[in-house]
Structure 1
Amino acid sequence: MARRTKAEAAATREMLLDAAEAIFLEHGVARTSLEQIARHAGMTRGAVYWHFRNKADLFRAMLDRVRMPFRELVEEIDEPSLANAPLEAVRLACRQGFVRLEQPRYRRVYAILIHHCEVFGEIDPLAMQNEIAQESCGALIEYFGVAAQQQRLREDISPEQAARLLQASLGGLFHDWLRNHEPYSLVERGMELVDTLLRLVAREPGASAER
């Protein structure tokens, strides 16, 4: 019985997060109330407070469902050979991320964070975006650093420069795609960009394709 109650509570929590996604996307975070979220989920406001302290707590929980640290994306690929192929690890992790971002939930939540959220109370979307960007850039610097140690990175480009070049390029692509995702596939357009950039920073032509 306890297991069933725990499962039901988890299901209720997920329904509230689903409702928050829908209402935040339609009205924006600042203009959405917990009452609206509860109604959309077919519940009372008390149900919201049972699972979340406030709107900021709910917002963070919604964002946590789509967090994808770069190192975890690499680990999901499950290719032991990538330990000695840092540029290919970066390439495949980027592809893994693009595939995730094309899923409706990921697209909705990141659209909310970037285009439908203002600084409001304890919610600071810029701080949250910076946190995600810093984690990603830090991981990229590590992988490009390994590539430099293996003499696979151009001598005139530092690991930090390579990481920031890739991150800035992908950030611009992602923001454009979120504004209008219909015209093209993020996976296809993104991988064209990643492959091009990795060729540019690699020591020799084709060094980014360590396959």
Structure 2
Amino acid sequence: MPKRTKAEAEATREALLDAAEVIFLERGVSRTSLEQIARQAGMTRGAVYWHFKNKSDLFHAMLDRVKMPLRQLLDDVEDPDQPNAPLESLRLATLHALGRLQGPRSRRVHTILLHCSESASDVDILALQDQLACDCYETMVERFEEARDTGTLIDNVEPEIASRMLMSMILGLLHDWLRDPERYDIGDVGPRMLDTFFERISLPSATSSSSGKPAARTK
């Protein structure tokens, strides 16, 4: 049998990940076996083990094909080339993170992670979610502290509370929209929610809405 080319091997790997998305979405992560994924892809279980050590390895590879919103937010906010002030940096990062959700693959994978990932002994999903949330929270606190120190965060909002509020808004919006994406357009509702939040916690001119209007003055 001729040796497979690198392109053929990559195509096989991608086909297995495509199949995993379908089965995970239909059955849930804990009720899906590698054999079922192989059958969905029209391959043998040996093909799965050629590319992935186990189901956890395959699951993480599936996640790597999209950027999780909190991961995207972390990358954007920690970008050394980001010239924006702390609050504007956070606002733009959250908008960018939500914007990535609207592609079909991103929507499927996030639905699997948030709604089809019941506790599974072979995939430590909760640990992954907790680590991302913890890292993101700490980065948010740092940015809100910078905003407080530079006088752009209103005095009666603590950086820790602002971070919890923003985290709750992002995660709550994700959970709600992914249950039924046809109910509303997250590309419209998400930015309006985020702009309202940042306007309420910012001093004048600290940030601006996506429409280009200056932030509302906080009384």
TM class by shorter-chain length?
A: 0.7 to 0.9
Question: Do the aligned partners of 1:198 and 1:208 also contact (CA within 8 Å) in 2?
Answer: yes
Equivalence for 2:217: none
Q: Deviations over 1:1-55 (max 9, x none)?
A: xxx8223222221111111001100111111111111111121111100011111
Greater relative CO, 1 or 2 (CA 8 Å, sep 6+)? 1
SS at match of 2:182: coil
Equivalence for 2:9: 9
SS at match of 1:107: helix
Where in structure 2 are the equivalents of 1:1-150 lying within 5 Å?
A: 5-68=5-68, 69=71, 70-74=73-77, 80-82=82-84, 85-150=85-150
What is the letter of the counterpart of residue 190 of structure 1?
Answer: G
Determine the C-alpha separation between the residues in 1 that align with 2:16 and 2:82.
Answer: 39
Equivalence for 1:175: 175
Equivalence for 2:208: 209
SS at match of 2:83: helix
Determine the C-alpha separation between the residues in 1 that align with 2:138 and 2:55.
Answer: 30
Q: How many residues align?
A: 204
Determine the C-alpha separation between the residues in 2 that align with 1:166 and 1:55.
Answer: 33
Q: Normalising by the residue count of structure 1, what TM-score does the alignment of the two structures yield?
A: 0.88
Cα distance, 1:75 vs structure 2: 6.8
Identity of aligned residues (%): 50
More helix by share: 1
Question: Do the aligned partners of 1:154 and 1:203 also contact (CA within 8 Å) in 2?
Answer: yes
Give the unaligned 5+ runs of structure 1: none
Cα distance, 1:125 vs structure 2: 2.4
SS at match of 1:12: helix
Determine the C-alpha separation between the residues in 2 that align with 1:183 and 1:51.
Answer: 38
SS at match of 1:181: coil
Q: Normalising by the residue count of structure 2, what TM-score does the alignment of the two structures yield?
A: 0.85
The two structures, once aligned, show a CA RMSD in angstroms of 2.1
